[in-house]
Structure 1
Amino acid sequence: MKKFISSLFLALIVLIGLIACGGGNNDEEEATSDNGDDASENTEPAEKVEIAFWHAMSGDNGQALEDIVNKFNEQSDTVEVEAIYQGSYDDSLNKLRAVGGSSEAPAIVQVFEIGTKYMSESGFITPMQEFIDEEDFDVSVLESNILSYYTLDDQLYSMPFNTSNAVMFYNKDKFEAAGLDPENPPKTFSEVKEAAEKLSTDGNYGFTMATIGWFVEQLLANQGALYLDNDNGRGGEATEALVNSEAGVNIFTWLDEMNKAETFTNYGSNWDDPRGPFFAEQVGMYFDSTANTAEVIKNSSFEVGSAPFPVADGMDPQGLVVGGASLWITNQVSEDQQKAAWEFVKFTTQPEVQAEWAAATGYFPITPAAYEEEVLKNIYEEYPQFKVAVTQLENTEVSPATQGALTTVLPEARKIIETELGEMYEGKDPKDAIDDAAKKITDALK
């Protein structure tokens, strides 16, 4: 009996021990589970920093920009960019002026190149150089000829984004029919004039350009000529217009001679004005932006040639001023938002991003490595017209002339040039026209 009781007592002790161990295991599992839940909560991604990006890209270019923003947002765990279309470049800059100094300003804004002077002095921005220096970002991987426009006093104020320059498109079929070599387009003013004579038949014109002041800036730069004193306003505040130098007279006289010979006609002062006549084969050659290359090819029923910008006789081409726009980071948002903006800006400089952007739009990549990306190689192989502008950019000699004029009155100066060109086409003496333009621009600088 005692053995039975002892055995029963021993079994009871073992059973209690097992229950106790089981309870301990349950507690450990609960603790492990609790710790796991805490760890899960701690590793959830932090809320993204949201920033606004104001831009002026519409149509196909706008969609290509949205694609870049979406791609960035998908790969970023920390930043969410909202791209907001603001209308034209002028519209966007005017809106920024209206909200500058307030919390309504975006983190990033796209501003056209002639807004550089205003933006750098606005007090609304943090120079890009600050982010570059803080991170020791290597700008040597970017295209120096493009960076030079947005560099003031050795400081990069904004990051180039959509960059273009000017080219001359021509109808290869018309060239061949007129006895001209379609693979050897004119390179000088006199060669353009001679080709225009041969192409002007049956009410058609040999050459035209929209009455846009930007083209005069390009023609001046290609001759190595300054638009303004003090190194185009880059060595000090500009006080005098130099557009009526010999180089300026060359340009106005050249256009005037073709206009009087009726081998040139003025279709208007909008970008689209000469495009329709070119597509309709009513004109053989015209100036346009490289950003429109794909559109020109798509809308032409003939083979389109692309030629470097011509230069005055007796001189080597010096290159052109970049057009387009750049990205600015504003100081009207928090430091965290500014850093977030910098993350997006860096993303836009990546070779694959720049290659896709260039392939979709016709703008230059700001990163030379983008030319090695397959998507861009394929486009250039299919459309060799793109390569002419790239070569022109690479051959540009960086100087104050090709860096471009720096002044807040440049939009007004362009309008002055356009008005004087229009009056010259109506009979005003070319020397008087360019002299009057210089005087009016100088007055605007005061």
Structure 2
Amino acid sequence: MTVMGKLHGLAMAGVVALTAGAAQAEPVKFEFWYGLTGDLSERIQDMCRTFNEGQDKYEAVCVSQGTYDAAIQNAIAAFRAKKHPTVLQVFDAGTADLMLSGAFVPAPELMEKAGYDVNWDDYFKGIANYYATSGGELYSFPFNSSTAVLYWNKDAFAKIGKTEAPETYEEVEEAARALKAAGYSCPYAYDVDPWQFMEQFSAVHNLPIATKNNGYDGLDAELVVNTTKFVDHVDFFKRMTDEGLFQLKEYGQARLQSFMSGECMMMQSSIADHGTVGKTIPQGTNWDVAMVPVWAGTERKNSLVGGASLWALAGKPQEEYDAAAAFFSFIAKPEQAEWWSTVTGYIPVTNSGFEYMKSQGFYDKAPYKGRETAIQSLTYTPPGPNSRGLRLGGYVQIRKEFRDSLTAIMAGDVGVQEGVDAAVERGNAILRRFEKTYPGKQFP
């Protein structure tokens, strides 16, 4: 072969190699850090695999950080080292901190730059408002969403001649007394997790937890929950506990296990536990969920969303943001919303997802029947100043202060008013420290 022929052959080989390289280009990788473990972590891994296998342009690398708190703390440390993920799952209590950090790309900006046209009004207001600015702009993507509901054992209620769940706390007490008289040692199980015990109660009763519209209107907000009907509610639970009608089942899965084992006949818990209850409670047990009770005479408002949203963190190349946008678009599809609700118990976050699931008969199927109660609760009224959410800095620590005080109250170590006052005092100290951290700033 001539020299020219050899050069031509080498050139052609180079073209083939380049073509093959282009065809086999590595997908753009981005990291997604989340704070769930166990079965929920496995389901997120399933979601990531489906996304990765459904296209070859992007690859989601999804990594559990163990807990919500750990996910945030690890991301802060990684951000300082410029080794942070592109997408971070942040639970409801961390929203205020993220909003003032400036360490994120707002969701609308991210999607617009990536070429996606999103109908932001499709998100349920009762969910979206928790993660939105005061003007209603979503900064993050609602993801694993839930609200609190009442779980009740229909078989036990039948034995006391009742076929409906209690709608008021007066009816809860009446049922508890009847169940106790019928031989049930634990009519009602509860814990004092503030999201369940204080925040949901205050929202549905239209009671403020803090001034400044629960913090939305300024970092100088102060807790006032010690001046509302919540104090009477705590006193009620303390009296019912002392009489043996209610049982405090603190920490871990104690409350959930007590209901699933048939020890306790009622409990308040997240709708996200619906799937776990259905898979664990003895086969043949008749049980259901209902909206959380209110005190008689209350004009009920919508309940609060719980769970977390997904944030795109700042400081990443545009190609990773394009990948994240594709991932967000994928998880927002109605079919994906149905899958997510099927395997977890979380609820759809958009009206289109909910309507699609209804059209597929999702809520008519025995394992999932009742989960629509969460949507009914979240959308019961348009969100108002006391039911759209909380925008309080350092709220993770504030929740801990309330849990500690409420536990001490139920144990009889401190009086009701004294204990709630102490939690408010310590919580306000946290708010003032947070305010000093961001001098002159306001929530968007």
TM-score category (smaller protein): 0.7 to 0.9
Distance 2:35 2:381 in 1: 27
Give CA deviations for 1:268-299 in whole Å, capped at 9, x if unaligned.
2x141112222232211111111110111222
Distance 1:376 1:88 in 2: 34
Match in the other structure for 2:334: 351
1:187 is aligned, of 167, 170, 176, to: 167
Kindly provide the amino acid, as one letter, of the partner of residue 186 in structure 1: P
How far did residue 47 of structure 1 move?
Answer: 3.2
1:16-415 equivalences under 5 Å are 44=23, 46-134=25-113, 135=115, 136-154=117-135, 155-181=137-163, 184-201=164-181, 202=183, 204-215=185-196, 216-268=198-250, 270-301=251-282, 302-371=285-354, 372-373=356-357, 377-378=361-362, 380-383=364-367, 384-415=369-400
Give CA deviations for 1:394-422 in whole Å, capped at 9, x if unaligned.
21431232222112221222122222222
Deviation larger for 368-377 or 238-247: 368-377
How far did residue 43 of structure 1 move?
Answer: 6.6
Distance 1:35 1:51 in 2: 31
Q: Sort the Cα spacing of 1:283 and 1:361 in 2 relative to 1 into closer, same or farther, 3 A.
A: same
Distance 1:420 1:51 in 2: 42
Deviation larger for 272-281 or 425-434: 425-434
Kindly provide the amino acid, as one letter, of the partner of residue 58 in structure 1: T
Distance 1:286 1:421 in 2: 17
Are 2:419 and 1:433 equivalent residues in the alignment?
Answer: yes
Kindly provide the amino acid, as one letter, of the partner of residue 258 in structure 2: P
Larger Rg: 1
Distance 1:355 1:97 in 2: 33
TM-score by length of 2: 0.87
Kindly provide the amino acid, as one letter, of the partner of residue 433 in structure 1: G
Contact 1:356-1:376 within 8 A present in 2 as well? no
Kindly provide the amino acid, as one letter, of the partner of residue 351 in structure 1: P
Contact 2:167-2:294 within 8 A present in 1 as well? yes
Q: Sort the Cα spacing of 1:267 and 1:145 in 2 relative to 1 into closer, same or farther, 3 A.
A: closer
Question: Matched residue of 1:100: which SS?
Answer: helix
Kindly provide the amino acid, as one letter, of the partner of residue 149 in structure 1: Y
Question: Matched residue of 2:205: which SS?
Answer: coil
TM-score by length of 1: 0.86
How far did residue 42 of structure 1 move?
Answer: 8.8
Kindly provide the amino acid, as one letter, of the partner of residue 326 in structure 2: E
Distance 1:380 1:54 in 2: 34
Distance 1:57 1:437 in 2: 28
Question: Matched residue of 1:344: which SS?
Answer: helix
Contact 1:127-1:156 within 8 A present in 2 as well? yes
Distance 1:48 1:300 in 2: 44
Match in the other structure for 2:428: 442
Distance 1:158 1:309 in 2: 28
Question: Matched residue of 1:147: which SS?
Answer: helix
Contact 1:409-1:444 within 8 A present in 2 as well? yes
Kindly provide the amino acid, as one letter, of the partner of residue 58 in structure 2: V
Kindly provide the amino acid, as one letter, of the partner of residue 278 in structure 1: F
How far did residue 431 of structure 1 move?
Answer: 2.6
How far did residue 48 of structure 1 move?
Answer: 1.7
Q: Sort the Cα spacing of 1:198 and 1:369 in 2 relative to 1 into closer, same or farther, 3 A.
A: same
Question: Matched residue of 1:152: which SS?
Answer: coil
Contact 1:331-1:338 within 8 A present in 2 as well? no
- Number of aligned positions between the proteins: 416
Deviation larger for 356-365 or 193-202: 193-202
How far did residue 380 of structure 1 move?
Answer: 4.5
Give CA deviations for 1:225-247 in whole Å, capped at 9, x if unaligned.
12111111111114310111322
Give CA deviations for 1:102-160 in whole Å, capped at 9, x if unaligned.
33101111111111111112232112131245444221232222111100133311101
Identity between Structure 1 and Structure 2 (%): 26
Contact 1:380-1:386 within 8 A present in 2 as well? no
Contact 1:354-1:365 within 8 A present in 2 as well? yes
Deviation larger for 76-85 or 387-396: 387-396
Distance 1:419 1:264 in 2: 19
Contact 2:363-2:370 within 8 A present in 1 as well? no
Contact 2:214-2:221 within 8 A present in 1 as well? no
Contact 1:231-1:400 within 8 A present in 2 as well? yes
Contact 2:302-2:382 within 8 A present in 1 as well? yes
Q: Sort the Cα spacing of 1:82 and 1:137 in 2 relative to 1 into closer, same or farther, 3 A.
A: same
Deviation larger for 369-378 or 125-134: 369-378
Contact 1:364-1:390 within 8 A present in 2 as well? yes
Which runs of 5 or more residues in structure 2 are unaligned? 1-8, 433-444
Q: Sort the Cα spacing of 1:38 and 1:94 in 2 relative to 1 into closer, same or farther, 3 A.
A: closer
Question: Matched residue of 2:378: which SS?
Answer: helix
